[in-house]
Structure 1
Amino acid sequence: MHIDFIITEMFAGGAERCLTEVACGLADRGDHVRVFSLGSLPVGQQSLLVDRLRETGIEVVSGNADSVREVIGARKRLDCFFSESPPDVCQTFMFHANTLGAFTARLRKRDTVVIGGLRVAEDRWIRNRIEAAALKRMDGLICVSESVRQFSINKLGADPNRTITIPNSVDVGRFESGEDFDVSSLGWPVDSKVILFVGRMHQQKGLDLIQKQIDRLVPKGSNRKLILIGEGPLAGSIDQWCETVGTDRVQRMPWQSDVAPLVRRCDLLLLPSRYEGMPNVVMEAMAAARPIVCSRVEGIAELLGDDPVQSFEIGDDLAMAKQVDGLLSQPEQSVQVGQLNQQRVRRDFSIAGMIDAYRSYYRKLADRRLDVR
């Protein structure tokens, strides 16, 4: 099959990592694969996914659209991209790619199978209306979790018979072994109990809940420490807050090209998000056999089940703090919980299984379109 992937951008995030794994896996299986990023391609350390795609022999093209004013130009480049070699299957990832990609692919070649990719349940009225219109031009929709699939049906009007859930995957080997991060590089004792947050510095991630409960999460004079990793619009204010609280208790680190050493070193992963799709960092912590305290956002039911030890109702900062206390104060339980987490991702969320699921769905829809013709 000739398969084109369209994505909003190629910075190293969850959707981008999923695309890279699927694209490389399909290319290894003999499919002809190309990737089109609406935004400019990242450079430096942020380019690791683009580099991997190209090393696999996959063509990566950019629409160079980094603002609303540049969308028209990206639309023309995308049209040329399709006209050069019309694909059998066009898979889009993320909101902007779902909308622009669906309309462009359908206009260019009507027998191309167009499949959307829904990665997050972000309930905004205007966004929903636009994406709902795009879905009407698609042959199918892949959702990252069952709760995101239900969101697509209830909020976007997606056809239940044309939607499927294919969860993310994780390379367990990458997270279960290797050198750990040295917390002494932050000026902390080597035996510190480390709480780790990894995510965008954005209101979505519930950072205000962490701020509200900081004295319980990281009591003054205790051996508990908090590391926040990420960039985003709140980065400046978070840095100021860290200085106020004290860098002997909490520090923010910039985006990391490889978080595995930090995930392996932490004693607990904390993610109090308000909405998600299926958070990759939770899967990564599970792969590293770490316990987690996470809000019950989309995708957590598939990952953790209805776990009263590791998950809490969205926005409930008191429950969050109690769960952190419970796990950090009972090391034996924490180890057991982490081991069960690792067993679960090893069993249910393999990269090979994810690639096979994508390819099977592509083949099913492509064969169906041929039958119609």
Structure 2
Amino acid sequence: MKILIYDDNPDFGGHQVMACHGIEALAAEPSAEVVCLINPANQKLAERLRGAGIPACPAQEKMPPADLVLCIQGDIAQSTKGIKTAKQAGIECASYIAIPHRMADMGAKLGALRDRLNQHRFNTPDRFITISKSMKQIMLERGCAKPISIVPNGIPAPGIQHQPSEPTTLGVIGRIEFNQKQQDFMVRAFLNESAFKGCHLLLVGGGPDEAKLRTLVAGQRNITLMPWQEDMEAIYEKIDFLMIPSRYEGVPLVMLEALARGIPVIASARDGMKDLLPQNWTFDPGHADALARTLQEVRASWPNQIEPLRQHVLSAHSMEAFKRNFIRKVAGINPE
């Protein structure tokens, strides 16, 4: 079975990380031949595929012969040329999509107009694979009538288990992009709400709003800004609570990684966070007073709630489970 993977995203984010794990699992199957068509600007993706021995070449207008085209879609507007070309060539086409949200809900420029223009794309591929029940529900609400399978994200087994420290360190890990990730909201809440007194805030990542964030935290001795680290274990060793104040998400890998290490997570009551976390660990997005109250609640309750969550993540979101599910849902192969 020849499978073409199409991804025109120039950036290497969390969805590309999961896609790579799945692609590598597919390529290891004796009955599958995998070739990737990617954006030449995505050097990190090219290096990852090259290191795994998977052929990769620039995405092109003409689709080579194949039995299946799998298009990697961070959102519904990505990799649409690949879907169109596959359909024109008469090749079965599946989409692996993480964020099917409305552009208007994501705060995108001309979001409502773009949503109307994108509406038909929820019925263009032959089938979809997404990452959670809440993402499937969004797709159904947006009029998707094609088959939708769910493959939950997975993570490698953790190297450490959380040990509380003093002072209490709150970690925010991810791309620095205020519209989605809301690091600016987190910093202002941290500086203005009394519940954060005596805590340290650690912000890890890089992105388009990094300069603005550096200006915002300048001179604050209890706030540290660090670039993305290759060794994330060292970061998880430093933090006592993971904070996810995002306006929207899929199923954040950092949430799964933290829970697997026994680190409690405080997050906006949206998407994958709302699906997985206890209700008293989530807050109304964008409300600093609600975030402060949730921190106080979780600091008191997390020791009695963390272990069932940790065990669930280690089981349902293991990398082995993800790879098995991905192979089955994408190619219909039952791995041994």
1-side partners of 2:166 and 2:264: how far apart? 18
1-side partners of 2:71 and 2:83: how far apart? 9
Alpha-carbon displacement from aligned partner over 1:109-151 (angstroms, at most 9, x marks no partner): 20x2211122114322344334433333311011222111121
Partner AA of 1:296 in structure 2 = A
| Equivalent residues in 2 for 1:1-373, closer than 5 Å | 1-9=1-9, 11-30=11-30, 31-42=32-43, 47=44, 50-63=46-59, 78-80=60-62, 82-83=63-64, 85-95=65-75, 96-107=77-88, 109-110=89-90, 112-124=91-103, 125-155=112-142, 157-159=143-145, 162-174=147-159, 176=160, 191-202=166-177, 203-215=179-191, 216=193, 219=196, 222=198, 224-244=199-219, 246=220, 248-304=221-277, 307-328=278-299, 330=300, 333-364=301-332
Q: Is the 8 A contact 2:12 2:42 kept in 1?
A: no
Q: How many positions carry a matched residue from both structures?
A: 320
1-side partners of 2:242 and 2:315: how far apart? 21
Deviation of the 1:326 alpha carbon: 3.3
Change (3 A) 1:348 1:302: farther
Decide which moves more: 23-32 or 51-60.
51-60
Q: Is the 8 A contact 1:264 1:288 kept in 2?
A: no
Percent identical residues: 22
Q: Which residue of 1 aligns with 2:107?
A: none
Change (3 A) 1:212 1:61: same
2-side partners of 1:171 and 1:12: how far apart? 19
Change (3 A) 1:122 1:258: farther
Q: Is the 8 A contact 2:130 2:151 kept in 1?
A: yes
SS of 1:213's equivalent in the other structure is helix
Structure 1 unaligned spans of 5+: 64-77, 181-189, 366-373
Alpha-carbon displacement from aligned partner over 1:287-340 (angstroms, at most 9, x marks no partner): 221000001111123322xx2331122223212112223334x4xx43443333
Q: Is the 8 A contact 1:105 1:114 kept in 2?
A: yes
Q: Is the 8 A contact 2:19 2:72 kept in 1?
A: no
TM-score (norm 2): 0.85
Alpha-carbon displacement from aligned partner over 1:202-241 (angstroms, at most 9, x marks no partner): 2211223313321337756x2x210111222221111011
1-side partners of 2:194 and 2:232: how far apart? 22
Change (3 A) 1:217 1:195: farther
Partner AA of 1:37 in structure 2 = I
SS of 1:325's equivalent in the other structure is helix
Change (3 A) 1:274 1:39: farther
Q: Is the 8 A contact 1:199 1:205 kept in 2?
A: yes
Alpha-carbon displacement from aligned partner over 1:267-289 (angstroms, at most 9, x marks no partner): 00001111111111111111221
Change (3 A) 1:130 1:288: farther
Alpha-carbon displacement from aligned partner over 1:19-57 (angstroms, at most 9, x marks no partner): 111011111222211222225132xxxx3x543422322
Change (3 A) 1:320 1:284: same
2-side partners of 1:172 and 1:238: how far apart? 32
Q: Is the 8 A contact 1:197 1:269 kept in 2?
A: yes
